Each structure stands twice: as structure tokens, then as C-alpha cells.
């Protein structure tokens, strides 16, 4: 990490945070934080909503500073629940807001295309959509419940699963999105250059960069913390 960036801190006003990077708006949205918070600082707001201030700042730093690599040093196992809550909220943000927008954009775009391209793009996107839904579902139905169980059971029954398995199978959900972006940017004929094609690309760009941060939170925060928790059970 370069030394000359100033990360966010808990004494900053939430409003200043947002005006320095509007991408952070969607984090508040995911966390169900209501607008109209006046001059509240990050710390005030986190207290009011029962969110870990450290974790909130980390997530904001991840979103705003490309070179920032979060570390679990300042977190503890109690933050795991807040992380899974955030990740679930993100999934729902993707599935109810981001992907429907992209889907609509694809739908508009393919209407203009020749038969073959239309079939190809439609199928490619449908397959991706299914893949990402399965990816989220697996996390929500298998991984997160496993983690939650670690808190309630002193020694989880059997050793059928560990977070390491999740890490090993954690597929790269961005690869196909990136492919789609390049196909639409570079390889669809230039005759299909409606404003919607630009808008669609913008939407794909945004969700792609968001998903990258989402994975970073999983890989750099969630997995190491859960590993720590698993060790404490041994």
C-alpha cells in the first residue's frame, strides 16, 4: 500500500465520506442506513445502527482506495456476523438492483442484433446469471449457516466441512463478466452502437468492480477470521 493515501477514520462526518466518494452510497444502502443523518460522524452512525466501526471503515476503505489491503488485525471473531450480514445484504443488492439492470440492458441490446449474435449473447448471459445465483445461494445456504453454527455449537458435529474447502472452491465470478464486457466493447459490430450499449457497459463495469471488492472482503476478512474461529474450537 502506498503511504501517501489518507484512509477514512471514525471521526469523519458521514456526509464528507459520501462527498469524497459517491460509490460509498451503495454501502449505506446495503446496510439499510437512512439518509438525513445531518452532521453525524462515522462513529455516531455505526453506534446507532449497531455496526462495528472498524469493519465499516474497512469496507469503505476497500471501496475507495484501490491499493488498500484490509487485514484482520483490528477485528475479532465477533465481527464475523457483521461481515456475513454485510455480504448477504450485498448479494441482495446485486440480485435485486445490479443484475436486473444488466439483464434489461442485455435484453435491449440483443433486440438489435442479428440472429446468431442474439442467441450467443442471450445464452452467455443466462448461463452467467445462473452461475452467479448458484454461487450466492451456495454461500447463503451452506457457507454462512456453517459459520453461524460455529458460534452456537461448542464443537461442531463432525469435520465434514471447513472454511478452507470454501476457499478452495471459491470460483472466480468475475471472469465471465469481464469476458462479456470485452465482447460487447470490442467484438459486437459497430453498427449496434445505441446509447444503451454504453449504459449497459457502464453497469457491467460497476458491478464487476463491486464484485471484486466483495471477493476481497470474503478472502481477506471473512475466511481468515473464520479460520481463527475454527482453530479456537480445536
Query: Interface with other proteins by CB under 8 A: which residues?
Result: 116-117, 119-121, 124, 127, 175-176, 178-183, 186-188
Distance CA 167, CA 164 (A): 5
Listed residue (113, 78, 93) closest to 221, CA to CA: 78
- What is the distance, to the nearest Å, from the Cα of residue 136 to the centroid of all Cα atoms in its chain? 11
HSE value, Cβ hemisphere, 13 Å, CA-based, for 113? 19
What single DSSP character describes residue 7? P
For other proteins, the closer CB: 162 or 178: 178
Least distance (Å) from other proteins to the CB of residue 231?
35
User: Mapping DSSP to helix (H, G, I), strand (E, B) and coil, where does residue 114 land?
Assistant: coil
C-alpha separations of 207 from 69, 138, 178 in Å: 20, 20, 10
Identify which of residues 116 and 168 has a Cβ nearer to other proteins in the complex. 116
Nearer to other proteins, 99 or 125 (CB): 125
Shortest distance (Å) from residue 172 CB to other proteins: 9
Cα–Cα dist 25/159, whole Å: 40
Cβ 113 vs Cβ 57: under 8 Å: no
Q: Which is nearer to other proteins, 165 or 193 (CB)?
A: 193
Cα–Cα separations (whole angstroms), residue 31 to 51, 74, 161: 9, 21, 29
User: Among residues 153 and 175, whose Cβ is nearest to other proteins?
Assistant: 175
Amino acid at each position: 500500500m502506498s503511504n501517501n493515501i489518507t484512509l477514512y477514520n471514525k471521526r469523519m462526518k458521514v456526509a464528507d465520506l459520501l462527498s469524497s466518494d459517491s460509490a460509498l452510497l451503495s454501502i449505506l444502502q446495503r446496510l439499510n442506513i437512512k439518509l438525513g443523518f445531518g452532521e453525524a460522524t462515522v462513529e455516531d452512525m455505526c453506534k446507532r445502527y449497531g455496526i462495528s466501526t472498524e469493519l465499516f471503515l474497512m469496507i469503505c476503505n476497500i471501496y475507495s482506495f484501490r491499493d488498500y489491503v484490509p487485514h484482520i488485525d483490528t477485528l475479532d471473531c465477533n465481527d464475523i456476523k457483521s461481515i456475513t450480514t454485510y455480504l448477504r445484504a450485498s448479494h441482495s443488492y446485486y440480485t435485486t438492483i445490479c443484475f436486473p439492470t444488466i439483464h434489461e440492458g442485455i435484453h435491449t441490446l440483443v433486440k438489435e442484433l442479428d440472429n446468431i449474435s442474439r442467441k450467443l449473447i442471450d445464452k452467455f448471459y443466462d448461463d452467467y446469471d445462473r452461475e452467479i445465483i448458484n454461487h450466492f445461494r451456495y454461500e447463503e445456504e451452506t457457507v454462512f449457516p456453517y459459520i453461524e453454527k460455529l458460534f452456537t455449537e461448542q464443537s461442531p458435529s463432525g469435520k465434514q466441512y471447513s472454511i478452507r474447502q470454501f476457499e478452495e472452491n471459491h470460483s472466480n465470478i468475475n471472469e465471465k463478466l469481464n469476458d462479456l464486457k470485452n465482447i460487447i466493447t470490442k467484438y459486437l459490430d459497430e453498427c449496434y452502437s445505441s446509447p444503451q450499449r454504453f449504459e449497459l457497459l457502464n453497469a457491467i463495469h460497476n458491478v464487476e468492480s463491486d464484485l471484486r471488492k466483495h471477493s476481497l472482503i470474503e478472502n481477506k476478512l471473512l475466511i481468515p477470521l473464520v479460520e481463527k474461529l475454527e482453530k479456537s474450537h480445536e
